[in-house]
A and B are shown apart, each in its own frame.
Chain A
Amino acid sequence: MWLHLRTSPIRWSLPVLLAVDLAALFLRNRSWIGVWPESGAAAQVPAYLLGVLAAGVAAWAAGAQTRHRLHEQLAVARVHPAISEAYRLGATLILLLIPYVIGQVVAFAVTARTFPPGLGLFWGYALLGLFVMVMATAFGWLCGRLLGTLFAALAASMGFLFLLTLLGRVGFVVLSGRPNTMVDPVGLVLRLGSVMLLLVALLWLPSPGRARPARRAIVLQVAAILPLAMVVVTTSPVVDRTPPGDDVTCVNGRMTLCIWPEHEKYLPKLRSLNARIGLLPASFVPPPRMNEIGIERTWHLGPDGVIHLDGDAGAPIFHILEGSPWSYAGDVSNAILASTFGFTDTQYCSWDTLTSADQERLSVLGAWLEAYLVGRSTPDYETNAPMEMQAAWARGRAIAGEQSLPEQFRWADREVGDLRGRYCKPVR
């Protein structure tokens, strides 16, 4: 085996593959550092890039014996062809997995410095990427065996890309590891099992350029590919996690903000957010509690007899996307405005009669609140909202950026009182 590892043509490609893997891991948004599932998912993403290269490289390796004209020597060897083939395929697989595994180890080491809870979720994503790499290798080897030595590598690379395109429609590509989702263990075991089956079946393919593969070998391949295709198409790689119940981390204050324990690195940011909420004028009425997505789920029985996820019931939710403070500040400011103005309160308020001028004032107020909660006035996202709405948001952010805090609060207090007084009866 060591001999095969040392003489494989793949070893020259390893530096390139490793460089691509590490670059894809670090030359991007690095919010994954410090959260286990996100780390596993971030180190899993290069598998799709490496897979494209690995398919080509595996096809090249599959044709090595034909290129070096070793047919006669191998044909008269005493060992069974499938066994010597197993060594070659095994060496190819091991070498191609090295860059990916190094990437995962680096991601592990970087997050292990803070060691947050939720390590178990990391392994699921790591194995999912491993599956992608093994599948790419198997695909490349198959191309290398069936298409001859010349065009196989190109065909394997482009073919794997094409495969990704097709499978992208069934959710094959996983990009992030939010704490509210996890890799489906059953699906993962099925995927790994079926791809191993394919690897074993590949051993009975004759080398390219000699005899055409026997019909029996082709039937064997098809029989091995079918379960893999079925599994990939029918199962989803990630599923929602069950709500954690009481095992959540919460920040108390004027409002209670609860997050998944895996997201503990965001606690300081959420504390400062909550402190800013505490400073808001008394006319703002924040909801008593907000949850990160997936912490509470309420189900209700729909009229058609199917159980639906009820998004409106329970406490309002917020997201933490790519570590951006704007992602949760936007959700929190919307929830505060909704409970302050009682948008859903049809008993005392009549927001159906909202004029467009007041709509604009609400937009200005919402943008101000969002920017105030973040503490900055230039957002990190792009939007394709209508121009007049964007202009209103820009005015709101300008207020947060330019005026002093007491001035801002006086203005906001006046706006809330004025708008509420116009559309709601003063009951509360």
Chain B
Amino acid sequence: MIFVDATANRSGDDPGRWLPIRLFLSVRPLAGALAGVVLLAALAAWFGLAEAPLPTAVEQGKARIPLWRLLAMGVMVLPVVAMHSSLADLEVVATRRLRALQRSVLAGIGTVSALIYLGSCALVMQGAVVGIVARSLLAWFGLALLSGAVLEWRLAWAVPTVVAVVLWYWGHDGAGRYEWWEFSARPHDDMPSLLISVTLFVAGLVAFAATPWRLRSWRRWLPTRARAGRGAVRQALDRPHRTDTTANGGWNCQADGSVSHPVVTERNRSS
């Protein structure tokens, strides 16, 4: 963010240190997100133990899903949605400084949201249940990050909502217990749930870290064939002069049989 540097020099030393983060926050609806988290936390304390009668695949009658499980998803999606900025079009070209701010703010507000929700749950629930909530918060945060980073920050709700619907409908095994992959409901000391939650969290972090320049360097580790297949067009566009334009009239055949067409030769042919 260039404007951050320009204004930071003008102000004094001490306030200047905080200016980037203030500017970062000023275009993001963090206050709204925190207000939403507080609202959800209040709902959890108030209705958290009420049960939603949702249809399920196995049980005759309705599954009784306590509301705190439904609310936990929203609590972790909100901070990620708040990463959207009204200057998103400009931030497309931003690099490390913005990412560093994003990273620290996301970590901060995510932790604060989780603590607010856990605190409010601790008021009305037993310790073991709060443990389940904490574990599922980890997984929901990972899913929200994944969704937000891959689709768009404003669409961070999409993947968690679909996953939640799948869990609620198919999560029961018919004998009053939950399937091993239902990470939001099994007992607090359950190992598969913990592993899944951590995996989802890590997947979210990886999706967040996968910036264009990192993807470029990661791609170097792929086997040669896959690289040629995936990046063939882009490589041809990046280096139009090095493509072999004489061998077959400008059509550039790659080693794996895919065909790419350099822009430069197209212009030459049509003129």
Q: Residue A217 at the B interface, CB < 8 A?
A: no
- A27 and B170 within 8 A (CB): yes
Contact B74 A24 (CB under 8 A): no
Give CA–CA (A271, B32) in the complex, Å: 65
CB-contact partner of A168 in B53, B58, B77, under 8 A: B53
Contact A165 B157 (CB under 8 A): no
A49 CB to nearest chain B CB (Å): 5
CA distance A169 to B174 in the complex (A): 23
Max chain A C-beta neighbours (<10 A), residue from B73, B84, B162, B176: B162
Q: Tell me, yes or no, whether A382 is within 8 Å of chain B by CB.
A: yes
The distance from the CB of B81 to the nearest CB of chain A, in whole angstroms, is 6
Among A16, A149, A161, the residue within 8 A (CB) of B154 is: A149
> A61 → chain B, closest Cβ, in Å?
12
Closest to A45 in B: B55
Q: Given the known A-B contacts A151-B36, A173-B62, are A168 and B52 also in contact in the complex, defined by CB atoms under 8 Å?
A: yes
Q: A20-B165, A52-B165, A56-B161 are in contact. Are A165 and B50 (CB under 8 A)?
A: yes
* Contacts beyond the supplied A151-B81, A153-B157, A154-B81: 7 A-B pairs with Cβ under 8 Å: A24-B169, A151-B29, A151-B78, A153-B158, A157-B157, A165-B50, A175-B55
Q: Which residue of B lies closest to A57 (CB)?
A: B158
**A237 CB, min distance to chain B CBs, angstroms:** 14
Q: Which residues of B contact A27 (CB under 8 A)?
A: 57, 170
B54 at the interface (CB under 8 A from A): yes
**CB-defined contacts of B162 to chain A, threshold 8 Å:** 16, 20, 53
The reply to whether A150 and B29 form a contact with Cβ atoms under 8 Å apart is yes
Contact B53 A165 (CB under 8 A): yes
Taking the closest CB of chain B, its distance from the CB of A214, in whole angstroms, is 23
Contact A29 B54 (CB under 8 A): no
* Chain B residues with CB below 8 A from A158, complex form: 40, 70-71, 73-74
Rounded to whole Å, the gap between the CB of B84 and the closest CB of chain A is 6
Chain B proximity mask over A1-26: 1 for CB below 8 Å, otherwise 0: 00000000000010010001000100
- With A151-B36, A161-B70, A175-B55 known as contacts, the answer to whether A382 contacts B176 (CB < 8 A) is yes
Within A114-163, the residues touching B (CB, 8 Å) are 149-151, 153-155, 157-158, 161-162
B175 at the interface (CB under 8 A from A): yes
Q: 0/1 per residue, B63-100, Cβ < 8 Å to A?
A: 00001001101100110011010000000000000000
CB atoms of A52 and B60 under 8 A apart = no
Q: How far is the CA of A29 from the CA of B53 in the complex (A)?
A: 19
* A151 in contact with B32 (CB, 8 Å): yes
- In the complex, are the beta carbons of A28 and B154 less than 8 A apart? no
Is A48's beta carbon under 8 Å from chain B? yes
A102 proximal to B (CB < 8 A): no
Number of A positions contacting B (CB below 8 A): 35
Which residue of chain B is the closest to A48 with respect to CB atoms? B55
Contacts of A173 in B (CB 8 A): 53-55, 62
Q: Which 4 A-B pairs have the closest CB atoms?
A: A168-B53, A165-B52, A28-B57, A154-B157
Q: Which residue of A lies closest to B159 (CB)?
A: A16
The reply to whether the CB of A358 lies closer than 8 angstroms to some CB of chain B is no
Enumerate chain B residues within 8 angstroms of A175, measured Cβ to Cβ: 55, 60-62
Interface centre among A49, A154, A157 (most CB of B within 10 A): A154
Please indicate the chain A residues that have their CB under 8 angstroms from the CB of B71 in the complex. Answer: 158
Give A71 to B53 CA distance when docked, in angstroms. 41
Measured in the bound complex, the distance between the Cα atoms of B162 and A24 in whole Å is 13
- Whether B81 contacts A150 by the Cβ 8 Å rule is yes
Q: Mark A379-409, 1 if CB is under 8 A from B, else 0.
A: 0001000000000000000000000000000
Whether A164 is near chain B, meaning CB under 8 Å from some CB there, is yes
Q: List 18 A-B contacts (CB under 8 A).
A: A16-B162, A27-B170, A28-B58, A45-B55, A48-B54, A53-B161, A56-B161, A149-B154, A150-B32, A151-B32, A151-B78, A153-B157, A154-B74, A157-B161, A158-B73, A162-B43, A173-B62, A175-B60
Q: How far is the CB of B73 from chain A (nearest CB, A)?
A: 8
A29 touches B58 (CB 8 A): yes
What residues on B are CB-neighbors of A157 within 8 Å? 157, 161
Instruction: Please name all residues of chain B whose beta carbon is closer than 8 Å to the beta carbon of A67 when the two chains form the complex.
Output: 154
Residue A322, interface by CB 8 Å: yes
- CB closest chain-A residue, reference B165: A49
Residues of B within 8 A of A162 (CB): 43, 67, 70
- A48 partner residues in chain B, CB cutoff 8 A: 54-55
CA distance A154 to B82 in the complex (A): 12
Asked if A321 is at the interface of the complex by the 8 Å CB criterion, the answer is: yes
Across the interface, which residues of B come within 8 angstroms of A20, CB to CB? 162, 165-166
